[in-house]
Structure formats: structure tokens, C-alpha cells
Structure 1
Amino acid sequence: MEHEHTPEEPEEDSEISSWKRKLLWTWAFTIPITVIMLSERLFHFPLIEMPYSIIAILILGFPVLFIFGWDTVKGGMRGLFTFYFNMDSLISLGTIIAYITGFIFFTGIVDDYSGVAAMIMAFFTTGKYVEAKARGRASQEIRKLLELGAKNALVLRNKKEIEIPASEIRVGDVMIVKPGEKIPTDGIVVKGESSVDESMVTGESLPVDKLKGSNVIGATINQDGILYIKATKVGSDTFLAHIIELVEEAQGTKVPIQKLADKITSIFVPAILILAILAFLNWWLFSKDVSRSLGIAIAVLVIACPCALGLATPTALMVGSGMGAKRGILIRKGEAIQTMKEVKTIVFDKTGTITKGKPEVTDITSTGKISQKELLSLAASLERLSEHPIAKAIVNKAGLKSSKKVTGFK
């Protein structure tokens, strides 16, 4: 039972690897820039004399902005030209203007802010990497759900038993499931009797008896006898696939607060652009200092960037729904996470939710001359080879050393 989204898994790993690579290279160039900029304060002498230090910063800063940060710069500038403003717009404009000041510096009009451009991009890349890691962790929980399914299946074809990958099962195939094996896909029992552990679906620890005509769910575990099961659903139609789809939908759903964040961003970004222009004009008109005015404008663009507004909500949703899936909690809509703060009363199913879902022996009552210890030992000896949950509880209470080999029964 292979889920249709499985081929995309390497892309998520690729995204994390891509941002990690950008992060390492960005900081590899930014750290020397920072040292050059602060060398006089750190070491009380400049490592590189002016104007060669500016040239060095421009050379080191170029790959930071136009190679490793190019996707951000390109996306942000496209947003500016098409009036579709996004989070990258302010970062792109701020870093490019700051970088260009390195060239204008040689005219004597403005001070140099080119090193700041690389530092801004480095911190922004760090944030993007953290976001990708958060998405990756959430996706890992979905992968764990995918791994719940059986990998192979024994099926009857042309009156022969053949083993095939579970992904190759067709509707109508008759599967042979032995005790202890996972049921490869959803189906109906056509022959045999057994009990099936459906705790991964229902949370109930006690196995459910299955007879001819009983429906079974893929990824649940056959306990006792051999079952012949006719496949009724495969691939994306199975119960497990629907569970995974629910988790993915929850991760992709926009909650009300996220829609509000998008709306705020569409207004906020152009407002900040106007504010930066006004700040520049105000400082220039009153101080006549172009360099200082430009520095103020760049500061407004960069500091006002609402990156957290755009990243925090989707990241929280992805991590929340992923962690919920890990703990057996399926969140159908991301909106549920937001509205949880308003919940006053929660009604739980008891078994497997509040309790462990596994029986335990709490009291032993004996009659006659037999002691409680001897009674427990005898019961454990009889139940030692049974797969029933109550039998396992008795054996666990007694311990392996207390049970004896049964040679006869009267």
C-alpha cells in the first residue's frame, strides 16, 4: 500500500540540504566581511586599509547576494515590479541598496553599507534554513505513518502463492496473511478466522475477532489464525492513505490568523516602502546628509521586514500537525490548532487515550490451599505461548522465570 506522495520525499530532504548549503556558504563569506568591518574595534587596527577593505567586502558580498541569495533577491524584486509584495521584497531592496553604496562610496557621496547587505542576507538565510528544518521534521512524521504499511504481500494468482511488493496489489487479489503479519491493504475476509490488532486505528488494545465476511484495515496486525483476504481498496483509497491525507491537509490549510497575516503583509510591505522613502527625504531635507539619510532608509526597510509574520504561522501549523500525528492525534484542519485556546471542556475516549490500552494484573485472589504466587505461576505457564493481551498481562506480572513448561493438561 504505497502512498502517492512518497516520490516527493527526497524533494523535502533536498530543500533542507539546499538551504543548509546556502547557509554554510553564506556565513563562510559573511564572517570574513564582519571581521574586516569590525577589525579596528576588535584588534585596534584595520586588517585591510581603506579603500581596499571596501573592495574586499564588495567581492566577498557578491556571491552572498547574487549566488546563494539570488532566489530571495529575484523573488523579492519580481514582487516589487509586479506589485505583488511579499516578505522577500523588503529584504531584497534593502540588501541591494546597501550593497550598491559600496560602489557609490568612492564618489564621496555616501558611506559604505555593503557589508551590512551580506549580514542581512546571512541572517535571513539562517531563518529560511530553520523553517525548512521545521517542515522536514513534520514531513518525517508523515513518513513514519507511511512506514506503518506492509512492504510485501503473499497473494494467490493462478492458484499459486506468490510474494509481491504491497504497492503491486490489485483490487480483487486474494492475500494470505499469517499470524503476526501486517495486513497489506484494506479488504474483506473470504476464508479463515482470527483476531486482528486494530489499536493503531481505534486505540483499543483488545484484538477484534474476524470471520468470513469481516472487513479488515490495511497495516493492522493479524494475531492468531491464517486469513485469506480479498483486496477491496489499494493505493490512495486505503484507510491509512486517508489518514496521511488528513495530516497533509492540516499542514497545508490556512487558518484565519494566517489569512490575516497575508492580508497585513500585502498592505504592510508597500507601507514600509513609502515610510522608508519618507524617512530618507525627511533626513535629507533637514540634515543635507545623503549618507546618513540613506542609512536610515535601509534600516527602516530591513528592521521592519515582517518575516516572523509570514514564517511563524505555517511553521507552527506544520510542526503541530506533525507532532500530533506522531502521538496518534490526527488534526483534520489547521484551524483546530488555533481554536484550541478557546476550548473549556475536552471529552476523551478512555481506552488507549487516557489509559495505556494494555491490560495489567492488579489483584490476585486464590481459593483453597494454593498460594497467590503459585496460582500466578501456573496461570503464566498456561498462557506463556498465547498472543492474547490478557495472557500477556498475566505472563508479564509473573515474569519469565516464574513460568514453567507445560507437559500435560487435565
Structure 2
Amino acid sequence: MNSIELNIHGMHCAGCVSTVEKSLAKVTGVDTAVVNLSLEKAVVTGSMDKKQLIEAVKSSGYTATQFIQEDLNRDINLEKLAEAKKRMVLGWLVTIPIMAWMLVEMITGLVYPSPEVYHTMMLLLSAVAVFFAGGDTIRNGWKSIVYFSPNMDVLIMIGCLAAWSTGWLRLWIEIHPFTGIASMIMAFHLTGRYFESKARGNASSAIKKLMNLSAKEATVIDGSGVESVVDIRNLSIGDVVVVRAGETISADGEVLDGIADVDESLVTGESVPVPKNEGDSVVGGTVCLNSTIKIKVGKTGKDTFLSQVVRLIENTQATKVPIQLFADRVVSIFVPIILAVSGLTFLSWYFSTEFMFKISTSVSSILPFFPFNSTPIAQALYASIAVLVIACPCALGLATPTALMAGTGLGAQNGVLIRDGAAIQRMNEANTVFFDKTGTITTGNPEVVGAHVAKTMTKEELIRLTASLEKESSH
């Protein structure tokens, strides 16, 4: 049994995650398939072919590529955040004038400068927000329908298109157009997407900070004693590297020549420098504090200690805690249910005109913007669109993995590595916490600040016993 890691492109919500996981699970030989939305990564275990996995992801409407550890050095989250911000700003640039124009109509009852100009401009401005700023959402929603895997984008897509289409429908049927609502829906949706991207970027920044602890370049010395500076990605096992005082050790290896103190707090948590002599092992990412040493490279790339730590954090973030498994089950059936509820809402408002009129008149004072005086089809569309938009459960699927990423990432920055994400959820049941030794979570220089003596012992006796223990201890 082997493990294959893939980068998954095109996912936007928990529904996308569920679709990709189901597609991967159907591949012959797959035992487990776990997809992480925040990392855009899939970890698949079993006896299967990588090409089959990539094809399975493609058949579900997404794209998969080989996972490359070095990609972590690229700030992909910043690129996506910039794109999300650009779309959000464009959406609001056209939505704010639309809202102002609609507000004038609601307050005064006048359509300025004329009905034809007003409705034409509403169609054009809303089209910019829906099809340009929100183009990704529309495409992803349509794609998920084509592949029979409806996700959250479907709800937004249908809601926006239904609202926008009323601007055209008014030309053939008697209907109150609310074209501008489509722009408002998309603008708020894009704002949510922007903050989701920002939250994911903040949560995953801990991994990037860990990767930045490693040296970017190394000074390699050849057999004739000539030094050259190379990218650490070009290091090979057996290369001899020179590390001077204050420099970060570029790779895991063994000291060939020299004596130096090394700050290994990254590895052990101990704040006290560790002396290194010829033959001692060193870890990439630790710091040579004094003198110059020569190191023979023993591990490179994904086999180094720091890369293994990053891998551990990623695997922890990719695990699904019990509450997330529950959320995923809910999300997997949520979209079809909401589509059905929205359809029933439309039919109820359209065919039960008298009953709905009684309800609408009783709440008209608290819902001044609802088109109670419009035609039944307009009221039915308005109500069904409201169901689609307000029910979008993106937060349900994003909250748990984002919180898990933030927690494990913050822990890693502070030297706490969590092997199993489920342990975080069980943490609230803990009533006792044990720490191993001085230096792991302290400065390594303890001092007595007080003594609390039991009734069966005097303070002097306690000090005498403590001193006798300390006398024979080297720690």
C-alpha cells in the first residue's frame, strides 16, 4: 500500500471536497481519500495508479496535478487573495450605483430618468457583476450541474440568473423586474469569498513560516577547495557544505570538520546551545552560533527533518475530526435539499395566491422591500431566490478545516506538533496536562519562587531533601 499526494485545482466549497473525495474513492485499489480544501490537496492511500486518480478528478470537473513540496515556497494564497479582492472590488463598483438607483425608486416611486433607460442600465451593470466579477462562480456552478455534483455555487448561480433574467422577462410577461438584486447577491457572495481566502491564507501561513526557517542557499566546497553558492534544491547527498557563524545550516548531515555551538531550539525546544564536534549529526534549519564547520549532506529535499515536520503538520491538517465528518455529511445532501425547498417555495407562492396574499399582508410592514403588489410569478421568484441565497452553507464546510489549520499552524510556530487532528476535538475532555522537562516550554533557567509544605514536614526538612536530590543530578 502506498500514499499519493495531489494538488486539486478548482475547489471552492465543502461540496467540491465531497465530490472529489467520492470520485477518488471509486478508483479501484483506493483505501482512503482525504481532500483538504484549505491546502487544495488530496492524500490517497491504497494500491492504485496515479494516472487513474488524476483522470478520476478530471471526470468530476476538477483538475489534479502532482503535489510538489517546493510549491509551498510560492505564496499561492496571496495570489488567490489578490484575485478574490479584484473580483470583490469590481462587483461592488457596479453594485453600489445600482443600490443607490434602486433606493431612489423605492423612496420616491420614480424611475429616473425613464423606465427604459433604468431597466437597460440595470441589466448592463448587473451583467458586469454577475458574469465578469462573478464569472468563476457561474462557471463552477454550471460545471457542477454538468457533472451531476451540485455544490454551493449552484445556489448562487441560480439565484443570480433568476433575478437577472427578470429584466428580460418583463419584455414578454407582466413581471416586476428585480435585476439589480442579482448584482447585490453576487457582490455579497464575492465579499464572502474574499474573507474565506483571507482566512485560509492566514491559517496556512504557519507552514510557509516553517519552510522559511530553512536556508535558501548553501556554500558548497568541492574537492579542490573551491567554494560556490548553490540553491539548496540543487544539493546532493554527499556534498560538503561550509557553515559559518550566524548562518543557518542548509541540510541534515554530519560534521566533517570544526567545532561550534548550534541553536537546536527548532528541533528540541531547548534554549541552551548544543556543542557539535566532528562526527556529530546536525539538522537543517538550526543555526550555527559560533565558529565555522564543514558538513557532509546526508538528507535533502522532502527527506530532511524540517520537511518531515511540515509533512506532519499537513497530514494533521488533512485529517478530519469527528465534527467535520458530520458537517461533510450534512453538506453532501444540503444543496439538493435546498434546491428542492426553493422549487417548492416557488410553486407554493405561485399556485397558492390567495393564501400567500393573506400571509404577505400580515408581514408587509416588516418587509417593505418585498414586491407584495406585483404579479404572482414575481413574488414566487423573489421568495425562491431568497431561499437559495440565504441557505448557502459555505461556512458550515469551511469553519472546521480552517480552525484546524489555524490551531495546528499556531502550535507548530510555538514548537507543539500535533499528530492527529482528532486529538484537538478531544482536548476539552482533558483534566491533567504533563510536561516532560525543563527547557521544552520554559527558558531552561528555573528558579524557586516559593515553597508550600505539607503538615507532616517542616520547610527546613523540605529544603534539605531537595538539596540532596539536586546534588547528585546533572539536569
Per-residue CA distance 1:195-244 (angstroms, 9 max, x = gap): 32111111111122322221111121223443222110011111011112
**Residue of structure 2 in register with 1:306 after alignment:** 393
Higher Rg of the two aligned structures: 1
Hey, which of these two has a bigger chunk of strand by percent?
Answer: 2
Q: Which structure 2 residue ranges, 5 or more long, are not aligned?
A: 1-67, 355-375, 450-475
Residue in 1 aligned with 2:381?
294
Q: What SS class does the counterpart of residue 438 from structure 2 fall into?
A: helix
Which residue of structure 2 lines up, in the alignment, with residue 188 of structure 1? 254
CA distance in 2, matches of 1:306, 1:144: 31
- The TM-score normalised by the length of structure 2 is 0.70
Q: Is the contact between residue 80 and residue 89 of structure 1 (CA under 8 Å) also seen in structure 2?
A: yes
For residues 58 and 265 of structure 1, the distance between their equivalents in structure 2, rounded to whole angstroms, comes to 33
Match of 1:99 in 2: 164
CA gap of 1:46–1:348, structure 2 versus 1, over 3 A, is farther
Equivalent residue for 1:140? 205
Say whether 1:263 aligns with 2:350.
no
* Cα gap change, 1:151 to 1:294, in 2 (>3 Å): closer
Match of 1:36 in 2: 101
Inter-partner Cα distance in structure 1 for 2:95 and 2:439: 52
* 2:432 counterpart residue number: 345
- State the shift of 1:26 in Å: 0.6
SS at match of 2:101: helix
**Partners in 2 of 1:360 and 1:320 — Cα distance?**
28
Aligned partner letter, 2:307: A
Checking the alignment, whether the CA contact within 8 Å between 1:87 and 1:310 is kept in structure 2 is no
- CA deviation after TM superposition for structure 1 residue 130, in Å: 0.7
Query: Does structure 1 conserve the Cα–Cα contact (< 8 Å) formed by 2:73 and 2:211?
Result: no
Q: Is the 8 A contact 1:152 1:184 kept in 2?
A: yes
Please report how far the alpha carbon of residue 280 of structure 1 lies from its aligned counterpart in structure 2 after TM superposition: 1.4
**Aligned to 1:13, which of 55, 78, 89?**
78
Residue by residue over 1:86-113, the C-alpha shift from the partner in whole angstroms, topping out at 9 and shown as x without a partner, is: 1111111111111111211233432212
SS of 1:336 mapped into structure 2: helix
AA aligned opposite 1:24: V
- Measure the CA separation in 1 of the matches of 2:418 and 2:126: 44
Contact kept in structure 2, 1:205 and 1:351, CA below 8 Å: no
Secondary structure in structure 2 of the residue aligned to 1:196: strand
Q: Distance in 1 between matches of 2:265 and 2:202?
A: 25
**Structure 1 segment 107-146 matched on structure 2, within 5 A:** 107-146=172-211
Aligned-partner Cα distance in 1 for 2:166–2:122: 12
Deviation sequence 1:40-73 (CA, Å, 0-9, x none): 3567855443243222111001021111211111
What is the alpha-carbon distance in structure 1 between the residues aligned to residue 426 and residue 259 of structure 2?
45
How many angstroms does 1:8 deviate by?
A: 5.9
Number of aligned residue pairs: 360
Q: Report the CA distance shift for 1:294/1:4 in structure 2 as closer, same or farther (over 3 A).
A: closer
Verify: 1:168 aligned to 2:234, yes or no.
yes
User: CA RMSD of the aligned region, Å?
Assistant: 2.5
Asked if the contact 2:256–2:278 (Cα under 8 Å) also holds between the matched residues in 1, the reply is yes
Measure the CA separation in 2 of the matches of 1:329 and 1:362: 26
Q: Which amino acid aligns with 2:228?
A: E
Specify the SS of the correspondent of 1:95. helix
CA contact (8 A) 1:85 1:266 kept: no
Does residue 232 of the first structure (1) align with residue 319 of the second (2)? no
Tell which deviates more after alignment, 342-351 or 122-131.
342-351
Distance 1:284 1:361, change over 3 A: closer
Residue identity (%):
43
1:45, 1:295 → 2: CA distance?
Answer: 21
Larger deviation, residues 334-343 vs 163-172 = 334-343
The unaligned stretches of length 5 or more in structure 1 are 364-410
Q: Give 2:287's aligned residue.
A: 221
Aligned partner of residue 208 in structure 2, secondary structure: helix
* 2:147 aligned residue: 82
**1:312 is aligned with what amino acid?**
A
More helix by share: 1
* Residues in 2 aligned to 1:131 and 1:175: alpha-carbon distance in whole angstroms: 43
**TM-score normalized by structure 1?**
0.80
